[in-house]
């Protein structure tokens, strides 16, 4: 791929109370954050520890809010649906994905071979967001983000108000895994990237560098990677290996999105 990959985005705002009916400005603040984070144009790349700087990846992906609906009619690229569901909670281990269905109080996905669907709603207190990896059911394809963790203005709340939940989830949607390899606290799981250090488990908050969790060298965990669980202000990089996975997705299972 020589040019920048353009990804058409539709945002489905599903709200019960008016607070969650977020503004267009909040939506656009998220698009701005995505475009910075996926292009290594976020100001905080200056905080990357020296040892990790050479690994910084630049995905060259541009996200834009579409101006037409699937039928070609002019459309703001934001759908708005009032729902009787107060919060889409996790009941047990089963994700409540009713925001993805008009028949169940949400909004249907737009064709996922042409759009990145982003649902923004109230996910309750525990969940910031989640994503569907490539290859899943088309009617559920996309990412879901709690409105309090969406964008950088409006109803977004610190420490998740820099738009990084969406950056993290969109990377999953592009087939990038958690940096600790999803093996609990073991030091054996892989994210299938050669340039991310192995680490024990996820990190939270704002760790201090270096944080060595499992014999992973002087620099230890790359907790400032978008695919850890640190606070928004503590995560600011993808690696080249992670970008290679994104590119494989954009030339493979999601190639129809970039025309």
Peptide bond into 28 cis (omega under 30): no
What's the rounded Cα separation, in Å, for the pair 25 and 15? 16
Residue 165 interacts with ligand ARG (CB under 6 A)? yes
- The enclosing H or E element of 5 equals strand 5-15
User: Rule CB under 6 A: is residue 201 a binding residue for ligand ARG?
Assistant: no
Number of residues that bind ligand ARG (CB under 6 A): 14
Which of ligand ARG, Ca ion, none does residue 189 bind to, with CB < 5 to 8 Å depending on kind?
Ca ion
Chain centre to alpha carbon of residue 30: 10
Instruction: Give the x/- contact pattern for ligand ARG in 109-138, rule: CB under 6 A.
Output: ------------------xxxx--------
Q: Which of 154, 189, 197, 220 binds Ca ion (CB under 5 A)?
A: 189
What residues are paired with 154 via a beta bridge?
A: none
Both structure tokens of 92: 């047990």
Separation between Cα atoms, residue 114 and residue 125, nearest integer Å: 32
- By the 8 A CB rule, do 33 and 162 touch? yes
User: Which residue among 24, 126, 169, 233 is the active-site one?
Assistant: 169
Minimal distance, residue 127 CB to ligand ARG, in Å: 5
- Which residues, 207 to 246, sit near ligand ARG by CB under 6 A? 229-232, 235
Q: Is 126 a catalytic residue?
A: no
Span 153-182, contacts to Ca ion by CB under 5 A: 180-181
Name the residue among 201, 200, 197 with its Cα closest to residue 237. 197
From the list Ca ion, ligand ARG, none, partner contacted by residue 127 (C-beta under 5 to 8 A by kind): ligand ARG
Cβ proximity of 215 and 206 under 8 Å: no
Q: Which residues are catalytic?
A: 169
- Residues of the shown chain interacting with ligand ARG in the complex, contacts defined by CB under 6 A: 127-130, 149, 160, 164-165, 168, 229-232, 235
């Amino acid at each position: 791929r020589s040019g920048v990959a353009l990804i058409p985005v539709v945002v489905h705002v599903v709200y019960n109370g008016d607070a969650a009916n977020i503004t267009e400005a909040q939506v656009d603040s998220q698009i701005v954050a995505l475009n910075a984070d996926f292009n290594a144009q976020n100001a905080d790349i200056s905080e990357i520890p020296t040892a990790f700087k050479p690994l910084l990846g630049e995905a060259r992906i541009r996200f834009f809010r579409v101006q037409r609906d699937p039928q070609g009619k002019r459309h703001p690229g934001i759908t708005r649906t009032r729902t009787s569901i107060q919060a889409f909670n996790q009941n047990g281990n089963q994700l409540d994905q009713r925001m993805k269905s008009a028949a169940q109080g949400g909004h249907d996905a737009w064709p996922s071979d042409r759009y990145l669907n982003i649902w923004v709603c109230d996910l309750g207190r525990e969940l910031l967001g989640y994503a569907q990896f490539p290859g899943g059911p088309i009617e559920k394809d996309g990412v879901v983000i709690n409105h309090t963790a969406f964008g950088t203005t409006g109803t977004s709340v610190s420490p998740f108000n820099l738009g990084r939940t969406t950056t993290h989830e969109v990377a999953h949607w592009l087939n990038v895994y958690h940096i600790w390899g999803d093996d609990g606290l073991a030091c054996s799981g892989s994210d299938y990237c050669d340039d991310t250090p192995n680490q024990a488990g996820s990190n939270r908050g704002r760790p201090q560098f270096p944080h060595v969790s499992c014999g992973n060298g002087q620099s230890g965990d790359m907790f400032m990677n978008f695919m850890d669980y640190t606070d928004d202000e503590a995560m600011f990089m993808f690696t080249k290996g992670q970008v290679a996975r994104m590119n494989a997705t954009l030339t493979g299972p999601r190639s129809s999105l970039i025309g």
